[in-house]
Amino acid sequence: MHEGHYVFAQVMHHLPSTTFRRCVERYGGEHRVKRFSCLDQYLCLAFAQLTWRESLRDIEACLRAQSSKLYHLGFRGNIARNTLANANAVRDWRIYADFAQHLIGIARRLYADDPLALELDETVYALDSTTIDLCLSVFPWAPFRSTKAAVKLHTLLDLRGNIPSFIFISDGKMHDVNILDQLLPEAGAFYVMDRGYVDFERLARLDNAGSFFVTRAKSNLKARRRYSRPVDRSTGLICDQTVLLTGFYSRQGFDSPLRRIKFNDPQTGKRLVFLTNNFALDALTIAKLYKCRWQVELFFKWIKQHLRIKAFFGTSENAVKSQIWIAVSVYVLIAIVKKRLALPASLYEILQILSLTLFEKTPVDRLFDDDQFQKSLISDLNQLNLFN
């Protein structure tokens, strides 16, 4: 089916073009545009993500060097640095945000049957944020501290397949706990968070929606023990208690019983105190659930290492958000390609190989059929692999 098609075109073939056009029409992305369409802009920045381009001039030079192939790669407009810079500055970033969310929906369905580290049928989300540092004089619209700027990437990661189900981009000053106001809780799902998200009024909204949360208790937590369950101390568990909050404001925000579990981590020797509103799972499973939260930290580290989201092609808020959302959509697109073609490689290896073969005409699945490649799938232990 893909004989004679360039690798870049084969990968972009998995994009839902009808949905992309609807996103463009929704925000008037091509109003009075004649030559350089939103799809051309998307393909330019997707190319930059896949090949790790350094600047707009770099993108222009590399694509113009392959000008005879651009039509077959999907480009219809002329590639010019000034045109691309203007498109990044003025075309609504929400086009690419909505499109990325649609791709996320596709990917989540593809990975819905992937196993978790724990034997749970429910959906498990890890919630956290990462900060991307910026220069205050260049990005004054994103204040963070008195001498620096930053944007925060708030992410709700579905631990089945490590697909981000919700992303919100804010300036660096927004506190993590405020993102709970943006979430639509899913009944029966688990939300695993660190201590930065402990706000009992907001956690009560999750509880009222039928969702479960697992978080760590702050050191100044005031609570009264109502009941203690027996635990096996050889597993690292210290206690499993039902408690009631006694602090004035915390009790007003959450007046239902909570479960407090103390656990001594055998690997680090740290004593951890967990809070949850789930009373059905055993205490050790709750502790293991919180350990799974580390996947979102690996996700942030991975995308910062392998996607272009720490250096930007434009300085406006629109340009920065457009680039981040296109980077997220490329990450999800490669995850979709991996699943649909049943590629044996990790996501990291797929990106590395694609970066060198975009202008070849080999079918994508054949890039990973070579026996020599199969022998090389034993990855470096120091390399992060979210998709094994």
164: alpha, beta or left, given left = phi > 0 and alpha = psi -120 to 50? beta
Per the CB < 8 A criterion, the answer to whether 48 and 59 are in contact is yes
Enumerate domains of the chain plus CATH numbers: 7-96+313-375 (no CATH), 194-292 (3.30.1370)
Per the CB < 8 A criterion, the answer to whether 364 and 337 are in contact is yes
* pLDDT beyond 70 at 105: yes
Q: Per-residue pLDDT tens for 41-81?
A: 999 999 999 999 989 999 999 999 988 999 998 898 888 89
Average pLDDT over residues 338-357: 91
Q: Per-residue pLDDT tens for 285-307?
A: 999 999 989 999 999 999 998 88
Tracing tokens 């204040």 back to the chain, one arrives at 143
Sign of the alpha-carbon dihedral angle for 273, 165, 296, 197: negative
Sign of the alpha-carbon dihedral angle for 228, 232, 234, 235: negative
Q: Which two tokens stand for residue 163?
A: 């697909």
Note the pTM of the prediction, 2 decimals.
0.88
What is the C-alpha to C-alpha distance for residues 161 and 107, in angstroms, rounded to an integer? 9
Share of the chain above pLDDT 70, in %: 94
Exposure string of 148-166, with b = 16+ CB inside 10 Å and e = fewer, is ebbbbbbbbbbbbbbbbbb
